[in-house]
Amino acid sequence: MKPLSAVVVSVSVALLGATLTSCSSDDALVVYNAQHEQLMEELVPAFEKETGIDVELRNGKDLELAAQLVAEGKKSPADVFLTENSPAMAAVEREGLLAKLPEDVTAPIPEQYRPTSNAWTGFVARSTVLVYNTDQITEAELPASMLDLAKPEWKGKVSFSPTGADFQAIVAGVLATQGEEATRTWLEGLKANGTVYDGNNVVLESVNAGESPVGIIYHYYWYRDQAEAGEVSDNSKLHFFGNQDPGAFVSVSGAGVLANAKHKSDAEKFVGYLTGKTGQQGLADSYALEYPLNPEVQLDPPVKKFSELAPPAVAVSDLDSAAVVDMMTEVGFL
Amino acid sequence: MHLGTLDTVRYGRWLVPALAGAIVAACLVPVGYVLWSAASVGPDEAYDFLVRPRIGELLWNTGRLMVGGVVLSVVFGVCGAWVVERTSLPLAGWWHGALCAPLAIPAFVNGYAWVATTHAVQSYPGTVLVVSLSYYPLVYLPTVAALRRLDPSLEEVAAALGRRPREVFTRVVLPALAPAVLGGALLVGLHLLAEYGALQLLNYPTLTTAILQQYGTAFNGPAATLLASVLLLACLGLLALEMLARGPAHRARVGSGTARPAPRTRLGRWTAPVVLGLGFFVALAVGLPAASLVRWLVKGASAELDLARMLPAAGTSIGLAAVAGLVATAAALPVVWQAVRRRSSWSLGVERAAYTTSALPGVVVALALVTVAISWLPGLYQTLPLLVAAYVILFLPRALVAVRGVLELVPPRLEEVALTLGQSRAGAMRRVTLPLLLPGLVTATALVALAVSTELTATLLLAPIGTTTLATEFWSEASAVAYGAAAPYALALVLLAVPATVLLGRSSRGEAR
């Protein structure tokens, strides 16, 4: 081997060694985190300081980490699982991998936002919204209900991202409030009318660019881009459906403790911290702009107040993701 | 039939085949997982799932993307190589560097940059253009290398026999380039089968994006692996096509290291248009993504340089890329040796089999290793060796193509001569074969290292907990819509890829000494 490449290799091996040895210890609480990393990076140090418990994060997306937990089964090294949407949590619960949470951990969260099984709890929420291009749509033209988007007058005007966990939660909300027949008709109409994108951020970007006049997304994508530079949101505004419309559906991010957790009591403390006032305040103050679910804590303006959202009354336990997937497969989204 | 010298070494008779077999068997673990998991779906259910319009649509999309992307990459790669190597293009060395540069830009960064520029790329022609701009260097590099090694006397003989220059090119040069071009085209095809990030942004649904969506929406592993088995079939088709096109020819030639430089076609009054055309092409392939990264940096409110976070991530990226590159190259050697020097349908089959896994999306390969490791190798789970193994499995074909490209041109007779001159077998290997293979080994290491530095899914699932790389940090910021904060990581990825790209550029022109 030539001297130069020998140097390159030994330097890289040394670098690799140095960066990897610093980070494994057996007593640390292992959190599989599908929530945005930035959110946890603000909360975890505060939790570590308050409790003296070390936390290690494995970051990923709902889909990867849920699939990974299912593949790992009972041998998973994870203690806590955090998701962006409830279906991933429900998928892990279905495999019997979650432990029941103690009463005091879930108590601060309103009952609507946690399953009756108590196998996990919601801790933050995101609201469905309609983002519209302000050059193409006036306020008066906005639909009264998200279900109207399936009507012929919206043909070619609506975009959405049916393939993520986000939209699945929205459809589950429609199914829970409108029943199977109406949901199927709505999905078929939407497929005929709409442009399909992969990802809420892509929908936002296309609406802002005028590719599509309106799009179905979650509220925080728009607020975050506004906080960033407005590059993909300055030509658009948000429309909150309210009125218990299915389009005002609120999807919750879940937190749960694994049944085979090695550090169960620490794990419960961590989830308790997320639902308690300090943790929720930390969430509210963070970059995430998602709604804290503990009623004692509110998000600051300009984000619309949680109490003004008027979402449909759907309990997370009523969301039937299996039926949603069947229906979306039938209609041809999946 | 050649008798490779290594084969006559006492242990070589079984060691090389055993190593090759073991390496390929490890590569096939994810394929086994896919078949095992897909088999858990009943036949009726599988039929209902697979035989419906949506799957037809996905197959059609995947098929035409492969055809379009491979053809356009070959056109870009071969034309670029010919202009740089065989014409009087001014500053050819500089253009060579510019044409290698897209290798340093991850496909998803390129995809984002294009979509941010024009939505017209969210279509079939647009998608074909963008992926070809990302992947054509995989054809360009081996073609440049082959043009350099091609003995000009063959062309001179053809010309002396009365062939016109165009005929010489189509009947002598092109056939001689075929193995290099085909190897590159195969890599492009495999990458397109498994590509996700760029296609998601380009809004172009294929089997792979649908697999990710099955995991993401339905949390349905068996359905996803059912789709992955369709992907495997497509990959087998691709491999068979490449093998048919490659044919049975031997290509070794004594004296391959000393080919004279070939005469260059004078561009004359075509110089200006060719330079302008190349300039435009480089602006599309390199300028546009680079400009978009700079724009994020300048405009994004979240743009800040957190060196305490970036340096460890960069260190890990470099380390992982270098280690995986070297291991993959070492693993490629016995597999290619078997396929080239002990050519049989068995050894060729073993080599081909190693390609199949790379057509699978990273998430499928990673989940396969999760399943296998946690049950049988719990001590290795989420450790460095397993992560490196995952990288090798994912990117071995890049190393195979590069090593094969040079080994095919090294005649076994050279080693035999060294032996008769009194060299020991190890000495012949060290002093004759390895130096001749060196450019290919450098290319292999650099190609794998580049792929590893942008890999995301396997890293997220299999890395030791707490590991961050530039790619994971970029993804973490970008998925939170913090493009300003993501930009420095993408830029660092591109900058770190420059040395590997330079190495590739040099070794393809035979300058890696």
Q: Where are the domains of chain A?
A: 27-125+251-300, 126-249+320-331
What residues form DSSP beta bridges with A82?
A33, A255
Contact A38 B215 (CB under 8 A): no
- Residue B510 has a CB neighbour count (10 Å cut-off) of 14
Gap between the Cα atoms of A218 and A226, Å rounded: 14
pLDDT band at A183 (very low <50, low <70, confident <90, very high): confident
Question: Using the 8-state DSSP alphabet, how is residue B463 labeled?
Answer: S
pLDDT band at B71 (very low <50, low <70, confident <90, very high): very high
Position A14, amino acid: A
**Is it the case that residue B127 has pLDDT exceeding 90?**
yes
Helix (H) or strand (E) holding A239: strand A236-239
Find out whether B155 and B172 touch, Cβ atoms under 8 Å: yes
Helix (H) or strand (E) holding B114: helix B107-117
Is A19 in the B-facing interface, judged by CB distances under 8 Å?
A: yes
Is A289 in the B-facing interface, judged by CB distances under 8 Å?
A: no
Q: What pLDDT sits at residue B281?
A: 93
Tell me the shortest Cα–Cα distance from B489 to chain A, in angstroms.
15
What is the value of ipTM here, to two decimals? Answer: 0.74
Q: What pLDDT sits at residue B7?
A: 47
Bigger pLDDT: A41 vs B453: B453
Is B25 in the A-facing interface, judged by CB distances under 8 Å?
A: no
**Is it the case that residue A254 has pLDDT exceeding 60?**
yes
Gap between the Cα atoms of A265 and A29, Å rounded: 10
Contact B219 A196 (CB under 8 A): no
Q: What pLDDT sits at residue B391?
A: 93
Question: Using the 8-state DSSP alphabet, how is residue A255 labeled?
Answer: E
Q: What pLDDT sits at residue A204?
A: 86
Tell me the shortest Cα–Cα distance from A133 to chain B, in angstroms.
16
Helix (H) or strand (E) holding B228: helix B221-246
**Distance of alpha carbon A222 from the chain centroid:** 15
In order, the DSSP letters of A14-80 are HHHHHHHHTT--TTSEEEEE-S-HHHHHHHHHHHHHHH---EEEEE--HHHHHHHHHHHGGG---SE
Cβ-based contacts under 8 A for chains A and B: 183
Domains A27-125+251-300 and A126-249+320-331 share a fold: yes
Encoded tokens for A160: 């959405």
pTM: 0.81
Gap between the Cα atoms of A238 and A226, Å rounded: 12
Tell me the shortest Cα–Cα distance from B331 to chain A, in angstroms.
17
Encoded tokens for B145: 């290398």
The CATH homologous superfamily of the domain defined by B5-248+271-508: MetI-like (1.10.3720.10)
Is B326 in the A-facing interface, judged by CB distances under 8 Å?
A: yes
Torsion sign over Cα A171, A176, A179, A180:
positive
Which has the closest alpha carbon to A172: A315, A324, A63, A322?
Answer: A324
Is A143 in the B-facing interface, judged by CB distances under 8 Å?
A: no
**Is it the case that residue A131 has pLDDT exceeding 80?**
yes
pLDDT band at B480 (very low <50, low <70, confident <90, very high): low
Buried b (16+ CB within 10 A) or exposed e, B225-241: bbbbbbbbebbeebbee
Q: What pLDDT sits at residue A80?
A: 93
Which has the closest alpha carbon to B231: B379, B333, B355, B372?
Answer: B355
Contacts of A73 in chain B (CB under 8 A): 374
pLDDT mean across residues, chain B:
83
How many helices (H) and strands (E) would you count in chain B?
A: 27, 0
**Is it the case that residue B18 has pLDDT exceeding 90?**
no
Range in A245-259, A320-334, B274-288, B413-427 with the lowest mean pLDDT = A320-334
Gap between the Cα atoms of B387 and B319, Å rounded: 12
Gap between the Cα atoms of A152 and A145, Å rounded: 14
In degrees to the nearest 10, what's the CA dihedral of B37, B42, B47, B49? -60
- Residue A192 has a CB neighbour count (10 Å cut-off) of 12
Is B367 in the A-facing interface, judged by CB distances under 8 Å?
A: yes
Q: What pLDDT sits at residue B392?
A: 93
Gap between the Cα atoms of A193 and A209, Å rounded: 19
Gap between the Cα atoms of A21 and A17, Å rounded: 6
Name the A residues in 196-215 with CB < 8 Å from any B CB: 196-199, 201-202, 205-206, 209, 211
Contact B213 A334 (CB under 8 A): yes
Range in A289-303, B120-134, B250-264, B409-423 with the lowest mean pLDDT = B250-264
**Is it the case that residue A317 has pLDDT exceeding 80?**
no
Gap between the Cα atoms of B388 and B395, Å rounded: 11
B308-357 per-position pLDDT tens digit: 788 888 999 999 999 999 999 999 998 988 888 887 888 888 888 888 88
pLDDT band at B276 (very low <50, low <70, confident <90, very high): very high
A66-97 per-position pLDDT tens digit: 888 988 888 889 999 999 888 788 888 888 89
Find out whether B320 and B391 touch, Cβ atoms under 8 Å: yes
What percent of chain A has pLDDT above 70? Answer: 90
Q: What pLDDT sits at residue B300?
A: 62
Bigger pLDDT: B275 vs B115: B275
Best B217, B316, B498 residue to mutate vs chain A (most A CBs within 10 Å): B217
Encoded tokens for B495: 């900058």
What residues form DSSP beta bridges with A99?
A257
Bigger pLDDT: B197 vs B59: B59
Is B210 in the A-facing interface, judged by CB distances under 8 Å?
A: yes
Alpha carbon distances (Å) from A282 to A125, A255, A293, B23: 14, 16, 12, 49
Gap between the Cα atoms of A321 and A165, Å rounded: 10
Name the B residues in 125-184 with CB < 8 Å from any A CB: none
pLDDT band at B119 (very low <50, low <70, confident <90, very high): confident
Best B208, B369, B465 residue to mutate vs chain A (most A CBs within 10 Å): B465
B435-477 per-position pLDDT tens digit: 888 888 888 898 899 889 888 888 888 888 888 888 888 877 7
Contacts of A88 in chain B (CB under 8 A): 219
Tell me the shortest Cα–Cα distance from B396 to chain A, in angstroms.
19
Is A320 in the B-facing interface, judged by CB distances under 8 Å?
A: no
Angle at B213 between CA A233 and CA A183, to 5 degrees: 80
Instruction: Provide φ and ψ at B492, rounded to 5°.
Output: -65, -40
pLDDT band at B207 (very low <50, low <70, confident <90, very high): confident
pLDDT band at B221 (very low <50, low <70, confident <90, very high): confident
pLDDT band at B396 (very low <50, low <70, confident <90, very high): very high
Topology of A126-249+320-331 in CATH?
D-Maltodextrin-Binding Protein; domain 2 (3.40.190)
Q: Which SS3 state, helix, strand or coil, does residue B455 take?
A: coil
Mean pLDDT in residue range B178-186: 86
Encoded tokens for A223: 């607020």
Which has the closest alpha carbon to A35: A74, A89, A102?
Answer: A89
Q: What pLDDT sits at residue A8?
A: 53
- Residue B12 has a CB neighbour count (10 Å cut-off) of 17
Radius of gyration of chain A (CA): 21
Q: Domain spanning A27-125+251-300: which CATH class is it, in words?
A: alpha beta
For residue A78, the chain B residue with the least C-alpha distance is B465
Q: What pLDDT sits at residue B348?
A: 80
Quick check: bond before A302 cis, omega within 30?
yes
Contacts of A22 in chain B (CB under 8 A): 466
Q: What pLDDT sits at residue B280?
A: 93
Contacts of B464 in chain A (CB under 8 A): 20, 23-24
